[in-house]
């Protein structure tokens, strides 16, 4: 018989209830799990020990630790290892780390591990249950899950780096918006034509293309941007320097990075059209010139 003691009654009750639910999938005797005083969990494996551990006990503990306790572990690491005391910052970092762990942020550089977090927990449980000794849930976490906790600490570090970058990015965006608000409006509108990949052309309100010298001139007026962050000198910087009231963007790929940045900076000033629409604009403008 294996005895597991819990300091936190809530952990004991939730794990016991999960074990009982999982137990129904395996034909084992009814009293193999018992909870005494909401703090002592006993596991009486009898003849089905290997199957019980493999199909009930280990899956339940993995699920509980990953799904219910991992957030608590992450918050503890954020506070105790990286010294973030502000609750709002802790939550923002936590959300960032969880998005990385759930595979939602594949754009963030990170290590590739041969063993998953689930496998690390599984190995620790297999070793402990094989010993068939009494232990506390808290000591199991502290001493047997070191590799798992180190993995979480690594991801917290990655998440904090990304959080800092996003904070810096927000400052960057706000400074660009401030520049636009304070800047002289050199042009009422600008036409941005995205021909594909990183090929962009800029046209003034008369549909005259801006050459490199003109782009450099207007880029110089975007000099208040943070020195540590790159600003595209062919598209974004000239537009920030011109501070137009309207930016008409013609593209077949509205998700392109520079276009997304323009929409973030200029917000409602940006109007998107398909690339084919620009040829109609040019045709109509030329016709109006002829009629005039």
pLDDT tens for 210-264 read 999 999 999 887 765 555 556 788 899 999 999 999 999 999 999 999 999 999 9
What local confidence, expressed as pLDDT, does residue 231 receive? Answer: 75
pLDDT tens for 255-288 read 999 999 999 999 999 999 999 999 888 877 666 6
What local confidence, expressed as pLDDT, does residue 223 receive? Answer: 62
Exposed e or buried b per residue across 155-184, where buried means at least 16 C-beta atoms within 10 angstroms of its C-beta: bbebbbebbeeeeeeeebeebbeebbeebe
What local confidence, expressed as pLDDT, does residue 197 receive? Answer: 84
* 189: β partners: 246
CB-based contact 41:3 (threshold 8 Å): yes
What local confidence, expressed as pLDDT, does residue 220 receive? Answer: 84
For the CA atoms of 247, 250, 251, 257, what is the dihedral angle to 10 degrees? -10
Out of 18-22, 69-73, 204-208, give the one with best mean pLDDT.
69-73
Average pLDDT value for residue range 147-172: 95
CB-based contact 153:97 (threshold 8 Å): no
What local confidence, expressed as pLDDT, does residue 157 receive? Answer: 97
What local confidence, expressed as pLDDT, does residue 291 receive? Answer: 56
What local confidence, expressed as pLDDT, does residue 115 receive? Answer: 96
Average pLDDT value for residue range 176-199: 89
pLDDT tens for 99-150 read 999 999 988 989 999 999 999 999 999 999 888 789 999 999 999 999 999 9
Q: Where are the beta strands (DSSP E) in 208-280?
A: 246-250, 270-273
What local confidence, expressed as pLDDT, does residue 229 receive? Answer: 58
Kindly report the average pLDDT of the chain as a whole number: 90
Give the end-to-end CA distance of the chain in Å, rounded to a whole number: 97
**pTM of the model as a whole:** 0.81
* Whole-number percent of the chain with pLDDT over 70: 91
What local confidence, expressed as pLDDT, does residue 112 receive? Answer: 92
What local confidence, expressed as pLDDT, does residue 131 receive? Answer: 83
pLDDT tens for 38-54 read 999 999 876 568 888 98
pLDDT band at 26 (very low <50, low <70, confident <90, very high): low
The three-class DSSP label of residue 273 is: strand
Residue with more model confidence, 27 or 159: 159
């Amino acid at each position: 018989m294996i005895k597991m003691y819990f300091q936190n009654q809530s952990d004991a009750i939730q794990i016991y209830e999960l074990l009982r639910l999982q137990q129904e999938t395996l034909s084992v005797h009814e009293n193999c799990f018992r909870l005494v005083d909401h703090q002592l969990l006993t596991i009486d494996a009898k003849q089905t020990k290997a199957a019980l551990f493999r199909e009930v006990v280990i899956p339940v503990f993995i699920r509980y630790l990953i799904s219910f306790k991992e957030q608590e572990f992450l918050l503890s690491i954020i506070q105790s290892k990286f010294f973030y005391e502000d609750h709002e910052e802790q939550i923002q970092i936590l959300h960032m780390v969880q998005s990385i762990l759930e595979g939602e942020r594949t754009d963030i550089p990170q290590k590739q591990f041969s063993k998953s977090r689930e496998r690390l927990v599984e190995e620790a449980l297999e070793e402990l249950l094989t010993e068939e000794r009494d232990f506390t849930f808290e000591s199991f976490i502290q001493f047997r899950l070191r590799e798992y906790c180190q993995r979480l600490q690594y991801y917290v570090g990655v998440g904090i780096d990304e959080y800092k970058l996003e904070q810096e990015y927000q400052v960057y965006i706000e400074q660009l918006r401030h520049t636009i608000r304070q800047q002289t409006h050199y042009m009422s509108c600008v036409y941005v034509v995205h021909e594909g990949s990183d090929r962009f052309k800029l046209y003034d309100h008369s549909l005259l293309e801006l050459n490199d010298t003109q782009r450099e001139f207007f880029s110089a007026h975007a000099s208040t941007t943070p020195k540590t962050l790159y600003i595209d000198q062919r598209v974004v910087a000239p537009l920030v320097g011109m501070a137009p009231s309207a930016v008409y963007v013609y593209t077949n790929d509205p998700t392109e990075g520079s276009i997304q940045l323009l929409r973030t900076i200029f917000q409602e000033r940006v109007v998107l059209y398909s690339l084919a629409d620009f040829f109609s604009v040019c045709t109509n403008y030329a016709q109006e010139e002829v009629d005039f």
